[in-house]
Structure 1
Amino acid sequence: MSREPEHHDPSAGEGALAASGRREVKPPKASGVHLEDGAKVPSATPAAQSGPEHVVEPVAYDAILLSGFGGPEGQDDVLPFLRNVTRGRGIPDERLEEVAHHYRRFGGVSPINDQNRNLRQALKSALAEAGLDLPVYWGNRNWAPYLDEALASAAEDGVRRMLAIPTSAYSSYSSCRQYREDWADALEASATQEIIQIDKVRQFFSHPGFIQPFIDGVREAIAEATQAGHDPSSIEVLFSTHSIPTQDAELSGAGLFADVEGGGYAAQHLAVAEEVMAAAAPGISWQLVYQSRSGPASQPWLEPDINDALEGLEDRSAVLIVPLGFVSDHMEVIWDLDTEAAETAERLGLWSRRTPTPGTHPAFVGALVDLVRERIAGRPVGERANATSLGPWFDVCRPGCCANRRLGFAPAIAGLQP
């Protein structure tokens, strides 16, 4: 299922409840965002409002907003959840059921909510150990607990300045700007636009704490493959991430990668993969592949698909599948990689292993704490943790970065308009 955004469908009904008592419908699209004179960054703290690429002014935040994609937690949740994900695209329930069977095979439960519950707890503990007295509110884009519920709760608790952490490391419409749009929706739906200011941490693909879990996973899998009798020359490493439309990819990364096929989205993944391989398995063959594409066949998406790449490994006996584009396990990991790709590898006679996602790896949780500390302190760019040739990414998204031409402009915060 694509992670593409959706426009508000007025016919969807407001406040519908699932059988569990949870609300079925995500907040409607924002009708507007408070914009100050001079193209100020909407709903941002004063340090970020003028739109600097990197905020080097200390900011006293009241809380953290951990933001996830969301996922169903029972069979009755599956279709309402998928309607939220695809809202505004006119997809009938019969077609949604083609994707729903992925969830139904696992009892209608995506692992993503439990993953985020664990991440929230790990982050709360790590912040406390670092001496940072910051509560962590958690809200999802597409299922309970929703972002507007998290913001309403934060406002009631007296929170006024929040630093948002999206559970996505890279730049693209679906992995960055759509979060910014959904924060705008949630602010309006919770009537907190004039109460709460939200900044966001930089896209954290280049932070060594995000990269370290992948290094550990590749090292362990390489050792396992060699113990199973596979020579390093017979091993291929496939770094897998979610495919996106090529048009979206071209607009990712603030237009800085016009000469790179796949734009900033691909460039960032390639930079991370290079660091992983240099540290974990120098000399072993690898490639960047994609998964989970959807949409009409006439629309170009980033390729190659992981299953096509597996078909092309005629001179390999072992393959390592690295979910480089994902912070934690969810349906697109356990279905597209652990089920479909694993079945393809088995059919081809390939020994295969899928390495872990960062999840609650101590290095990753430590990285999130470091991202919070750098914004609290206003840390200069040259002193920020970075492990790739691309350097620390922007704190404030640039004009037009990761826009979606097919859907047009939608209100967004934590970045310069449009």
Structure 2
Amino acid sequence: MSPTAVDPLAPYDAVLLLSYGGPEGPDDVLPFMRNAAAGRGVPDSRLREVSGHYGRWDGVSPINARNAELLDALRAELAARGSRVPVAIGNRNWHPFVSEALRELADGGARRILALTTAAYASYSGCRQYREDVAGALALLAAGEDGSTGRGRETDAAARVGGAGGAPVELVVDKTRPFYNTSGMLAANTDAIVTAFNQLVADGVSADGIRLVLVTHSIPTSMEELSAPSAEERADSGEAGSGSATGGAGEFSEGVAGLAGAPRGTSGADGSRGELSGPSRESWGTGEVSEGVAGLAGAPRGTSGADGSRGGLPHPSLPEPGVAADLSTEISYVAQHERLAAVLLDAVAARLGRRPQADLVYCSRSGPPQARWLEPDVNDHLEALATGRLTDGRAVAVPAGVVVAPIGFVADHMEVVFDLDTEARDTAAHLGLPYARAATAGTHPEFVASLADVLAERAAVARGEDVRPESTTGTGPFHTVCPPTCCRPAGHPGGEHPHATTHQ
């Protein structure tokens, strides 16, 4: 880029990759788990039990190495496009925390920062909660209270601070939209599924008998219901559109078991009703941005929406690019997966010359036994398939093998390497069911290119340019600032005790 050329990410002078974080050694595991379960009152005895999952990896979460790879790939892609802005990573639950990353960027001279999460889909934990994480960090930096407490690493972790800190500084932080509907997300998952399918065929499994199992992170059914506006809320926001906030995907093509038209509050995956419980890793919300505040809570006045502005958008009175006036484009967490599944199956069928039977299922569910989370669990689903049925009792052919594709995750972290590569693989082995796990998007070149596209898109919006967001699925969510009726937390009546899953 010539000295006079405008950086493609202008007016931003830095990029912040927001992620979940994970322990870096055995001594980090329990403090990390305390952060992940903050506000739940979970005793250390239970945390130690769950922490045992990390023992297979010597206390090191695989998310750290995968994020480092993504960071390098994204930096290289942006540099190839002529951008010189620094890119740093900040985590919700472990070092480097968001406050540490923002301090690093601020020390380098950054003042207006563009944030991109590692969560592809919009929900409370994958969207609004990351805005809350940034809001808290912005408040720490504005007060000059982001440095180490001086009372040890565990105390720093509990306070989500670290490093030397510095003088008070005010920053602008804006966020990109969800990216599950980008061409790179579709291409990376298509390639991965085709590769895994061909692996089973090479191992002697009949191609006609291979079933595709699409997996994502389970969330409370109430969080699913609150991840997009209801029909009544959409009617209040404008003329009711043709899209559905909770479905809207239309009928899927033959061969997809029950993915379309699921009742509100159910999984719609194999016709089940979404009632479940079980142990997993999760974090819990520590508070929510007040309704009506469209930007980041705790941000300096006039920067990222703390004063009620639209998060640095040039036309705060207008809908964001791609967002329908009635919010019909801002569909729910499950509907987002259904939309991607539909176009993904088309792409896979075009490559394989056959359309595999497919289901959408879940992993990493949590909560007390009476809690309702999206189901079926991947292990329950595999056990049902082996008996020639779905978990709702409908008859299906016993598959000759399964391709398990973690479309809800962008990297191989604990939910993938433990829940799928360990538990689900063991379940399949016990059932005598040939099993191949498709790769996550990771650093697939087209996926990384789409992340850069989303960053460039948001920068163009900030410059006041006319932007039409890309969508392979024909819908959003497109918002960068959560409308009051989108991405709300699950909780008890009255809105207390919000839940949030990891979405690492």
TM bracket, shorter-chain basis? 0.7 to 0.9
When residues 238 and 381 of structure 1 are mapped into structure 2, their CA distance, relative to the original with a 3 A threshold, is farther
* Residue 351 (structure 1) aligned to one of 413, 420, 434: 434
Runs of at least 5 residues in structure 2 that lack an aligned partner in the other structure: 1-8, 144-167, 231-243, 248-263, 268-330, 389-397, 499-504
Q: Which moved more, 1:100-109 or 1:390-399?
A: 390-399
Counterpart residue type for residue 382 of structure 2: L
Q: Shift of the alpha carbon at 1:190?
A: 2.2
Structure-2 separation of matches of 1:132 and 1:397: 28
Structure-2 separation of matches of 1:294 and 1:409: 18
Mapping 1:89-238, distance limit 5 Å: 89-191=40-142, 195-238=170-213
Q: Shift of the alpha carbon at 1:391?
A: 4.4
Structure-2 separation of matches of 1:254 and 1:373: 28
Structure-1 separation of matches of 2:490 and 2:435: 39
* Residue 425 (structure 2) aligned to one of 337, 342, 349: 342
Bigger CA radius of gyration = 2
Structure-2 separation of matches of 1:200 and 1:59: 14
Q: Which moved more, 1:253-262 or 1:266-275?
A: 253-262
* Residue 268 (structure 1) aligned to one of 332, 336, 354: 336
> What SS does structure 1 have at the residue aligned with 2:332?
helix
* Residue 245 (structure 2) aligned to one of 249, 253, 257: 257
Confirm or deny: 8 A CA contact 2:491 2:497 kept in the other structure: no
Confirm or deny: 8 A CA contact 1:249 1:266 kept in the other structure: yes
Structure-2 separation of matches of 1:385 and 1:365: 15
Structure-2 separation of matches of 1:135 and 1:252: 32
Structure-2 separation of matches of 1:267 and 1:303: 14
Per the alignment, residue 147 of structure 2 pairs with none
Mapping 1:277-296, distance limit 5 Å: 277-281=345-349, 282-296=354-368
- Superposed CA deviations along residues 166-185 of structure 1, whole A, max 9, x for unmatched, are 10010111111111111111
RMSD: 2.0
Per the alignment, residue 20 of structure 1 pairs with none
- Superposed CA deviations along residues 205-264 of structure 1, whole A, max 9, x for unmatched, are 100112211100111112222233333331111111110000001011344524644571
Larger relative helix fraction: 1
Matched, 1:321 2:404: yes
Query: What's the % identity of the aligned pairs?
Result: 47
Q: Shift of the alpha carbon at 1:308?
A: 0.7
Q: Shift of the alpha carbon at 1:270?
A: 1.2
When residues 410 and 98 of structure 1 are mapped into structure 2, their CA distance, relative to the original with a 3 A threshold, is closer
Matched, 1:72 2:72: no
Structure-1 separation of matches of 2:333 and 2:245: 9
> What SS does structure 2 have at the residue aligned with 1:236?
strand
Confirm or deny: 8 A CA contact 2:228 2:246 kept in the other structure: no
Counterpart residue type for residue 394 of structure 1: H
> What SS does structure 1 have at the residue aligned with 2:475?
coil
Confirm or deny: 8 A CA contact 2:121 2:178 kept in the other structure: yes
Counterpart residue type for residue 367 of structure 1: S
When residues 381 and 270 of structure 1 are mapped into structure 2, their CA distance, relative to the original with a 3 A threshold, is farther
Structure-2 separation of matches of 1:391 and 1:76: 41
Per the alignment, residue 14 of structure 1 pairs with none
Runs of at least 5 residues in structure 1 that lack an aligned partner in the other structure: 1-57, 412-418
So what's the TM-score if we normalise by structure 1? 0.80
Structure-1 separation of matches of 2:496 and 2:379: 34
Counterpart residue type for residue 363 of structure 1: E
Q: Shift of the alpha carbon at 1:194?
A: 6.5
Structure-1 separation of matches of 2:117 and 2:216: 17
Q: Shift of the alpha carbon at 1:365?
A: 0.8
Matched, 1:306 2:385: no
Q: Which moved more, 1:339-348 or 1:366-375?
A: 366-375
* Residue 487 (structure 2) aligned to one of 392, 402, 406: 402
Q: Shift of the alpha carbon at 1:269?
A: 0.8
Confirm or deny: 8 A CA contact 1:173 1:252 kept in the other structure: yes
Confirm or deny: 8 A CA contact 1:271 1:388 kept in the other structure: yes
The number of equivalent residue pairs is 353
* Residue 81 (structure 1) aligned to one of 9, 16, 32: 32
Q: Shift of the alpha carbon at 1:405?
A: 4.6
> What SS does structure 1 have at the residue aligned with 2:219?
coil
Confirm or deny: 8 A CA contact 2:13 2:86 kept in the other structure: yes
Counterpart residue type for residue 42 of structure 2: I
Q: Which moved more, 1:189-198 or 1:238-247?
A: 189-198
* Residue 11 (structure 2) aligned to one of 60, 80, 84: 60
When residues 346 and 174 of structure 1 are mapped into structure 2, their CA distance, relative to the original with a 3 A threshold, is same
> What SS does structure 2 have at the residue aligned with 1:202?
coil
Per the alignment, residue 24 of structure 1 pairs with none
Counterpart residue type for residue 443 of structure 2: T
- Superposed CA deviations along residues 368-387 of structure 1, whole A, max 9, x for unmatched, are 111111122236453x3221
